[in-house]
Structure 1
Amino acid sequence: MEKSQNRKPFQALRDLFHPVDLTHGTCWRTILQFSLPVILSYLLQQVYTISDAAIVGQTLTAQEVAGVNDTTSLVFIFLQFAFGVSAGFCVITSCCVGCRDQAGVRRSMAAQLVLSAGLTVLLTALALVLLNPMLAWINVTPENPEVYRAAYTYCGIIFAGIGAQLFYNFICSFLRSMGDSVTPLLFLLGSTVLNVALDLLFILVLRWGVAGAAGATVTAQLISTVACFAYAFSKYPDLRLHKEDWHITGLDLKRHIVQGVPLGLQFSVLAIGIIVMQSVVVKFDMIDGQMVSHAAQNGFGAANKLNSLIMTPVNGLGAAMTSFTAQNLGAGYTHRIRKGILQGLVMAAIIGVCSVGLGLLLTIDGAYLHIFLSADKVTADTIRFGNHFLYVDFSMYLLLCFLFVVRNCVQGIQRAPFVLWAGASELIARVAICLTLPALLSGGVVSAQSPELAFYALCAADPLAWLAADLVLLVPFFKNMMHRNYQYLYGGVEQHLLGK
């Protein structure tokens, strides 16, 4: 009896590492069990950014901090495209898992390895070639040499290491598509600790400055990628590729590209929109083309990082919904898709409200700014700019909750074009608002002398962009996912099983 009791904790621990079968069990319980490690993983991913920002903000000059903050959206374009593409590719994998097609799972892995290698070369070359034009786009130019040098150095190193990020996202997304959300969490935990340690070594000990922050991130991700691949092939022998698995057809590649590219573009659209916002934010620190302050840049940059952290739990839940819907699509359990989506929306609303409450607490006296900036950089103006941005976003967070859940579910049922159209609508709305409303309320020219209402107008670009995307996603939400006869969903299953 005693031995049996001793085995129970070990058995529970072993069960924790087993993949979750998303096609069985009570929907909300299954989603919650699978999504909690994903949410924790996403939170740890934010620690990468926060640790860099916190150490840089506490140790480097205001100009260097502004340079790193200004480039967040540029880095976001390419890294989030890589992240979105990997998540989209794995919709095919999840469908294969749902219909118990192990050979299809391996063939999906082989196709993704080939596509990921090609994307690494393409994205790295494109990012490095476009670096200077993109910096000019956000008004970071050699005329402000210290800001420009910091931004160029940070981006250059991160872009050179895109491959590490892409393959890391690939193996993590692949494991989640199989129902294993715990293994990516553990490796991300190790990678986060390693990243913080390397940050301290490279920045505080070796004095490599901005280059040290970027180098620590790339090095930690590269080590984690190699370790995670090795562990995955060891833990799941069925994933070891055979010679016949490399017989990849054009149809195999097409099926993955059709699912991956729209989601990748959707993630990049968000970054492009933020760049447009950033290009206008910089103007609130300028008069007659001359930089007179860094308050708007630093306030917006720190608030944007906090916002990314606050939205992470709902984002993680949404990512889990992709695997849930795709596995059930492959299994033909379309009744679970409808039920799971509705329950997922309720969970997202609850998580969103709790997250906003935490965010509002952190805005008191600009508390979050002291995480990202040293005391001398936290001024009344910095707090004002940062809090204005957060208040506007937090007031409309339910729009974002709907977007995260439904967009990922639409991806999971293989309606990728709607994801792309939603992204396009979001981009158009955000750009249009950023480039018109602040200038209109400033009398034609945005500057440090513009009224506060002009900055509020700029901040409104976020929720109005979410609304634009939500309106597009309402079409597949009602037409496909909420349609009681599921005719469209069954069509998706047939296309998958026939390999069309």
Structure 2
Amino acid sequence: MPLLMGNLLQQTYSLVDAAIVGRFLGINALASVGASTSVVFLILGFCNGCCGGFGIPVAQKFGARDYSTMRRYVSVSLQLAAVMSVVIALVTSILCDDILLMMRTPDNIFQGAYYYLLVTFIGVPFTFFYNLLSSIIRALGDSKTPFWFLLLSTVLNIILDLFCILVLGWGVAGAAIATVISQGVSAGLCYWYMMRRFTILRGTPDERKFDGALARRLMYIGVPMGLQFSITAIGSIMLQSANNALGTACVAAFTAAMRIKMFFMCPLESLGIAMATYTGQNYGAGKPERIWMGVKASALMMIIYWVFTFCVLMLGARAFALLFVEASEFEILKDTELFLHISVSFFPVLGVLCILRYTIQGAGYTNLAMLSGVSEMIARVLVSLYAVPAFGYLAVCFGDPTAWIAAVLFLIPAFIFVYRRLLRVKREL
């Protein structure tokens, strides 16, 4: 539950940005925020995936009670994060203009989209460190504290959004600045708490030195997890690029619908993230049979949540869309509602995807999980190239569900392979 609430708060960042921008700055500004959604997902998804991967060896060593190696992993992961986040921020900021041109961003929203994307990229180190520190804290068994820090920064984000946009008049860039500052506060609080609360992390100077072997192990697990998100995002970029070509109204509808969908997807992602840590700990403790128990419990919770969400979005999709646009924007409201109705119908497929993918990652088989991302990418690219030109916005609505189905068709046999292998290794021991 703390994971779920934390993820909901992270999505609240995006919801608040888009809602305030759409209501106070208009449809073009809303489209500016959404024109680069998939690019942001590509970069931040890579960072978040790496952070989740870095936390897995920590959870495994914590479960195995090898605290010295665990401390070394924590130290090396922080050093890697510092270098990687700065490099990513510099490269993406320089390429910002080219990225938007490649995505066929409409001219009337290009400038706003550029400033929003640029500020977001500059803030990558804050996002990277918050997610890494949260992953480490969760690996040590505390999933509540990162939630409270995120709650504080979410409130700060709302206040700063209104101040930057309404008082300072910074427009779309103001929304991005508010988010970056808020995430920086979250990261700082997590680091302060982790170092004060967990005495188990207070190691010797030797344990804080950079270790090449451990760094390679972290990169071996973390980078494929990051690439999985990035590979998935490549398909999303293709899909969004195809949608951008349909005009500003479709971009605005896509923006509103994606913000709402991502918010309601949070419990599914949270179940997956929880399974990654849970699997890592039980893998380290040599109890693979508990992993299957966790998968079944997660699947039951997922189905219960889907029934609730299906009723809410089928009946209330238009009401949620009104958070972003005026009631007179009939076309945008209709397109937003269509997107949400189709997406929520396929949430059980997405739930299975999240549970199995993160379980496989938690066991250390991150390359298999990455290949499921390749399946998603291929499906989205095919929809973008062939279905969208033929069927327009309707095909855009089916882009994600098609990708989820393709990934699950790969993940089910992959999970069976991994689980049987874990049981076989335990018997041999």
Q: Residue type matched to 1:420 in 2?
A: M
Match of 2:381 in 1: 431
Contact 2:233-2:377 at 8 Å conserved across structures: no
1:171 match: 133
Q: Give the structure with the higher percent helix.
A: 2
CA distance in structure 1 between the partners assigned to 2:385 and 2:402 by the alignment:
14
Structure showing greater radius of gyration is 1
TM-score scaled by structure 1? 0.83
Take 2:222 and 2:426, find their aligned partners in 1: how far apart are those partners? 19
Q: Residue 489 and residue 253 in structure 1: after superposition, are their counterparts in 2 closer, same or farther (change >3 A)? A: farther
Residue number in structure 1 paired with 2:346: 396
Identify which of 44, 51, 56 aligns with 1:79.
Answer: 44
Q: 2:14 aligns with which of 33, 49, 53?
A: 49
- Are 2:99 and 1:134 equivalent residues in the alignment? yes
Answer yes or no: is 1:337 the counterpart of 2:302: no
Tell me how far 1:489 sits from its aligned partner: 6.5
- 1:90-119, Cα deviation, whole Å (9 max, x unpaired): 110100110111112211111101110121
Q: Structure 1: which amino acid aligns with 2:92?
A: A
- Unaligned 5+ segments in structure 2 are none
**d(CA) in 1 for partners of 2:316 and 2:203?**
48
**Residue 415 of structure 1 corresponds to which residue in structure 2?**
365
TM-score of the two chains, using structure 2 as the length reference: 0.96
Cα distance, 1:489–1:61 mapped onto 2, change above 3 Å:
farther
Cα shift at 1:484: 8.8
Secondary structure in 2 matching 1:139: coil
CA contact (8 A) 2:50 2:223 kept: yes
The corresponding residue for 1:487 is 424
| Alignment match, 1:15 | none
1:89-488 matches, cutoff 5 A: 89-140=54-105, 144=107, 146-285=108-247, 294-363=248-317, 366-375=318-327, 378-439=328-389, 441=390, 453-481=391-419, 483=420, 486-488=423-425
Aligned partner of 1:351: which letter? Y
CA offsets 1:347-401 (integer angstroms, 9 cap, x no match): 22222222222222222xx2112112244xx522112221222222222211101
CA drift at 1:157? 0.8
Q: Which amino acid aligns with 1:132?
A: D
Any conservation in 2 of the 1:310–1:359 contact (CA below 8 Å)? no
CA contact (8 A) 1:94 1:178 kept: yes
Secondary structure (helix, strand or coil) at the match of 1:339 reads helix
* C-alpha distance in structure 2 between counterparts of 1:368 and 1:346, whole Å: 27
* Distance change >3 Å, CA 353–CA 267, structure 1 → 2: farther
**C-alpha separation in 2, matches of 1:271 and 1:373:** 26
Using the alignment, how far apart are the partners of 1:55 and 1:489 within structure 2? 54
Closer/same/farther in 2, CA of residues 274 and 486 from structure 1, 3 Å limit: same
Alignment root-mean-square deviation, CA: 1.7
Letter matched to residue 415 of structure 1: Y
Contact 1:302–1:372 under 8 Å retained in 2 = yes
Residue of structure 2 equivalent to 1:290: none
Post-superposition shift, 1:262? 1.2
- The answer to whether the 8 Å contact 2:257/2:339 transfers is yes
Taking a change above 3 Å as real, the CA distance of residues 206 and 238 of structure 1, as seen in their structure-2 partners, is same
In structure 1, list runs of 5 or more residues that go unmatched: 1-35, 286-293, 442-452, 495-500
State the number of aligned residues: 429
Shift of 1:77: 1.3
Q: Give distance in 2, aligned partners of 1:385 and 1:274.
A: 18
Percent of aligned pairs with the same amino acid:
35
Residue type at the aligned position of 1:401: G
Other structure's SS at 2:245 match: helix
Structure 1 distance, partners of 2:26, 2:259, is 19
Judge conservation of contact 1:480–1:489 (CA < 8 Å) in 2. no
Contact 2:239 2:383 (8 Å CA) reproduced = no
CA deviation digits over 1:95-152, x for unaligned, max 9?
01101111122111111011101211221122112212210122126xx2x4111001
User: What is the rounded CA distance, in whole Å, between the counterparts of 2:179 and 2:30 in structure 1?
Assistant: 17
**Cα gap change, 1:383 to 1:490, in 2 (>3 Å):** farther
State the alpha-carbon separation in 2 of the partners of residues 93 and 245 from structure 1: 14
Retained in 2: the 8 A contact 1:44–1:192? yes
Contact preservation (8 Å) 1:349, 1:398: yes
Question: Residues 437 and 457 of structure 1 are in contact (CA less than 8 Å); yes or no, is this contact kept in structure 2?
Answer: yes
* Residues 65-90 of structure 1 deviation map (CA, whole Å, 9 limit, x = unaligned): 21111122221211111111100111
Alpha-carbon offset, residue 312 of structure 1: 0.7
Structure 1 stretches of 4+ moved >4 Å: 488-491
CA deviation string 1:212-240 (max 9, x = no partner): 11111111111221122111111112213
Q: Given residue 214 of structure 2, which amino acid in structure 1 is its aligned partner?
A: D
CA apart distance, 1:321: 0.5
Question: Cα 1:133–1:485, aligned 2, differ >3 Å: closer, same or farther?
Answer: closer
8 Å contact kept, 2:375–2:403:
yes
Shift of 1:263: 1.1
Query: Which stretch shifts more, 354-363 or 197-206?
Result: 354-363
Distance of aligned partners of 1:229 and 1:337 in 2 relative to their CA distance in 1, 3 Å threshold: same
Check whether the contact 2:81–2:128 (CA below 8 A) recurs between aligned residues. Answer: yes
Deviation string, structure 1 residues 305-331 (Cα, Å, up to 9, x no partner) = 111011111111111010000000000
